[in-house]
Structure 1
Amino acid sequence: MEIFGSSGVRGVANEYLNPEFVCHIAQAAGSVWNTDRAAIARDTRATGQMLANSASSGLASVGCDVDRLGVVPTPGLQAYCEAESVPGLMVTASHNPPAYNGVKLIGASGVELSLGTLERVEERLLSEDYATVPWDETGAETRVENARRAYVDQLLAAVDRDRIADGNLTVALDPGHGAGALTSPDFFRELGCEVVTVNAQEDGHFPGRNPEPIAENLADLGRLVRVADADVGIAHDGDADRAIFFDERGEFVEGDAALAALAAAELDAGDVAVSAVNVSQRLVDVADVAGADLSLTPIGSTNIMTRIRDLQGEGESVPIAGEGNGGIIFPNYRMTRDGAYTAARFLELVAEQPASEIVAPYDDYHLLRMDIEYEDDGQRRALLDAAERVATESGATLDTTDGYRLDYGDSWVLARPSGTEPVVRIYAESSDPGRAADLAEEMHEAMTDAKARA
């Protein structure tokens, strides 16, 4: 697909992702949905209102009445779509920097659109084939005032409230000025937790930290855990579909370790877990111990959701899926990444055992990530050609599901282009930190040399 990446459409707002473009995306989606009603929500980004207005106009032009939910986490929009049986459009750039915004499309089941449906939307968009209607058939807007409260209520009904409350937990929360600032504090308090916060004011400029919940952006949360003597720290991205954790010592918990711990509590023999090609050895080991299979996809929630649906259609049991970035899916709950729900499932474990002990069995591997920016298609091609040369000369087992993953048995390195930013990402993992650094540096050096010559 040319337009829709691994998690929708994203770009710098008012440049690549301008109001006209968003209007056309909405027109194309509404034409494919062929519905008389759809929902729109947004995260807190400064350009969110502007682009949501454009999307509403586009949907109205193809005859859709529009339910405007305002600022709601992406999983909150998905819950609304499922409850109301209407498709939805989310204006969000998730973890991307503040200048970015994006569009994610949701089906009437509350699940992200499949790759096949996205391709149909893209075909309409590229051909400018919109099913516009006469003036007297255009849609109207309705403001929905209770969407956030309804989302929190269904979360409360979906988790083990008594188990969490019995843990008498203190939660340190960093929603990163994003949509989760309007829902997660109430949710965790209503679970019976004492909640202390940082960066909990909605602000589309993200003054306290960048939206991506990675270790270097979360120093304040680690300090808050220690100062408040909290049992766990929880961080979200901009649209709160991800959850990242700190243990009770204020130490960062690798997302892959949290995924492995949650998977160990979910998987039984004969189950299938789904993850992306940058999967950690931690999850591989958990699946092996449980007697479960592991199915790998290209990186991105759209690809993972599509694989889950395919497996379920074949009669397979898929109790957990996701990536080590905090985007975890519990398909038996809902086919969506939901940061608040994921955090609550982790709290169910923390209520009975310290967070550091929960993830201790999965601390044996060390994961590194590097990004290399490119300016044009020529540099991008040079970077990927260099990665292919390293792969060819390495003697490692090669997986080209998404980029180039070189598996050495006890360690691996992956180079693949981002679906949302002009960067090629390098991942390396090993039980030996030096080995991981060497693998990453070897790939990085080869690629940066090729970029300089491009």
Structure 2
Amino acid sequence: MQVFGSSGVRGVAGEELTPPFVGQVAAAAGTELDTESVAIARDTRTTGRLFADAAASALAAIGCDVHRLGIVPTPAAQAYAERTGVPVVVITASHNPPEYNGVKLVGANGVELPQTTLERIEERLLAEDFTLVGYAAVGSHREVDDAPERYVDALLDRLESEGRRERITDADLTVALDPGHGAGCLTSPEFFRKLGCRVVTVNAQPDGHFPGRNPEPVAANLADLRRLVGATDADLGIAHDGDADRAIFVDERGEHIEGDTALAALAAAELDAGDVTVSAVNVSQRLVDVADDAGADVELTPIGSTYIISRIRELQREGREVPIAGEGNGGILFPDYRIARDGAYTAARFLALLDERSASAVAASHGDYANVRANLEYEDEDGRTAMLAAAEKHADDADAELTTIDGYRLDYGDAWVLARPSGTEPLVRLYAEARNQKRATSLLEGVRAEMVEARDGD
């Protein structure tokens, strides 16, 4: 797909992403879905209202009634779609920097649209295959004010039905929460308080400038959260990205818990013999180890929620049980709940593991690997092509098992390294994992040096 990447459409606002283009995406989607109504949701970005208005106008112009949800987490928008049967256009760039925005399309079942549907929408978009209606058929607009509250209540009901709400409440936990000025500010503090937790917050004011930290909840951006955990004796620190479909954790000592470690810990509580879990090509050996111990299988996809969701659906059609799936970036799915990432629900599932053990103890069971990552920028297509050619040559020369479903992943048995282009930013991302930091760093630096040399023409 040229327009829809691994996680929707994204770009720098006013440059790669403009209101007319967003309107065309919305019109193409509304036409292809052949629906009477479409909801519009957005995160806190300063350009969110601009693009939401463009999408709403375009949808009304093709005859769709528009439900305006305002600022809500993407999982709350998905819950609205599932509850009402109304698809949603979500204006969000998730974890990307403040200058970015994007469009994510959610079906009437509350799940991101499958690749086949996105491809048809893209064909309409590129062909401008949508028709404006006359004045008498223009769609109506209505404000929906209760989407955040309904989402929180539904989360609580779900945890109650699973028997986890009482476990969390009885554990008498203190939660340090960093919604990162994103849409989670409107729901997560209330949710965790209603779960019976004592909640302390940082960066919890909705602000599309993201003054406290950038939206991506990586370790380098979570110094405030780590300090808050230490200052308040919190049992767990929780951080969201801009649209709160991800959760990253800090343990009670104020130490960052790798997303891969959290995924492995949650998978260990879910997987049984014969099950299958789905993850991306940058999967950690931690998850592979957990699956092997349980007698479960691991299925790999290209990086991005769209690919993981598509594979989950395929496996379910084959009659396979997929209790958990996701990536090490905090985007975790529990398909029995919804085939969607939900940061608040994921965090609650992790809290349920703390009824008898500390967060550091939970993490220690899956912390035997060291990870390093790096991003290589490029200015034009020539730079990107040169770096990927260097990565391919490095892979051809290496004595390792090669996987090419998304970039170049080299498995050495005791370690692995991956180079792959970002689907949302002008970057080539590098990942490496090994039993110790020195080995992981050596693998990453080996391929990085060759790629930088190729990019710079040295």
If the length of structure 2 is used for normalisation, what is the TM-score? 0.98
DSSP-derived class of the 1:150 partner: helix
Question: Offset at 1:62?
Answer: 1.4
- Quote the Cα distance in structure 1 between the aligned partners of 2:123 and 2:234: 50
Residue of 274, 277, 280 corresponding to 2:281: 277
- Quote the Cα distance in structure 2 between the aligned partners of 1:435 and 1:328: 28
Cα deviation, 1:227-276, whole Å, max 9, x if unaligned, reads 00000000000000000000010000000000000000000001010000
1:377 equivalent in alignment to 2:370: no
Question: Offset at 1:131?
Answer: 3.2
Unaligned runs of 5+ in 2: none
Letter of the structure 2 residue corresponding to residue 346 of structure 1: F
The aligned residue for residue 182 of structure 1 is: 186
Question: Offset at 1:191?
Answer: 0.2
Question: Offset at 1:351?
Answer: 2.2
Residue of 305, 309, 318 corresponding to 1:305: 309
- Quote the Cα distance in structure 1 between the aligned partners of 2:102 and 2:355: 37
Cα deviation, 1:395-436, whole Å, max 9, x if unaligned, reads 210000100000001100000000000000000000021010
- Quote the Cα distance in structure 1 between the aligned partners of 2:266 and 2:154: 21
The aligned residue for residue 108 of structure 1 is: 108
Residue of 184, 202, 206 corresponding to 2:206: 202
More displaced 10-residue stretch of structure 1: 58-67 or 402-411: 58-67
Residue of 442, 448, 454 corresponding to 2:452: 448
DSSP-derived class of the 1:317 partner: coil
- Quote the Cα distance in structure 1 between the aligned partners of 2:424 and 2:255: 29
DSSP-derived class of the 2:450 partner: helix
1:163 equivalent in alignment to 2:167: yes
Cα deviation, 1:120-142, whole Å, max 9, x if unaligned, reads 01000111111332221111111
Residue identity (%): 65
1:95 equivalent in alignment to 2:99: no
The aligned residue for residue 264 of structure 2 is: 260
Letter of the structure 1 residue corresponding to residue 450 of structure 2: A
Letter of the structure 1 residue corresponding to residue 76 of structure 2: G
- Quote the Cα distance in structure 1 between the aligned partners of 2:299 and 2:319: 15
1:409 equivalent in alignment to 2:413: yes
Cα deviation, 1:283-330, whole Å, max 9, x if unaligned, reads 000000000010000000000000000110111100000000000000
DSSP-derived class of the 2:132 partner: coil
DSSP-derived class of the 1:266 partner: coil
Unaligned runs of 5+ in 1: none
Residue of 357, 362, 367 corresponding to 1:363: 367
Cα deviation, 1:187-211, whole Å, max 9, x if unaligned, reads 0000000000000000000000000
Question: Offset at 1:366?
Answer: 0.7
Letter of the structure 2 residue corresponding to residue 405 of structure 1: R
The aligned residue for residue 21 of structure 1 is: 21
- Quote the Cα distance in structure 2 between the aligned partners of 1:397 and 1:289: 22
- Quote the Cα distance in structure 2 between the aligned partners of 1:21 and 1:359: 44
Cα deviation, 1:372-406, whole Å, max 9, x if unaligned, reads 01111111110100000000000210000100000
1:9 equivalent in alignment to 2:13: no
Letter of the structure 2 residue corresponding to residue 428 of structure 1: A
The aligned residue for residue 82 of structure 1 is: 82
Letter of the structure 1 residue corresponding to residue 416 of structure 2: W
The aligned residue for residue 319 of structure 2 is: 315
- Quote the Cα distance in structure 2 between the aligned partners of 1:112 and 1:58: 20
Cα deviation, 1:328-384, whole Å, max 9, x if unaligned, reads 000000111000000000000012210001111111101111000111111111010
- Quote the Cα distance in structure 2 between the aligned partners of 1:451 and 1:40: 41
The aligned residue for residue 62 of structure 2 is: 62
Cα deviation, 1:14-57, whole Å, max 9, x if unaligned, reads 11111001000001101111011011100000000010000001
Letter of the structure 2 residue corresponding to residue 385 of structure 1: A
Name segments (4+ residues, structure 1) moved above 4 Å. Answer: none
More displaced 10-residue stretch of structure 1: 58-67 or 192-201: 58-67
The aligned residue for residue 147 of structure 2 is: 147
- Quote the Cα distance in structure 1 between the aligned partners of 2:409 and 2:303: 12
Aligned residue pairs, count: 454
Cα deviation, 1:72-119, whole Å, max 9, x if unaligned, reads 000000000000001110000000000000000000000000010000
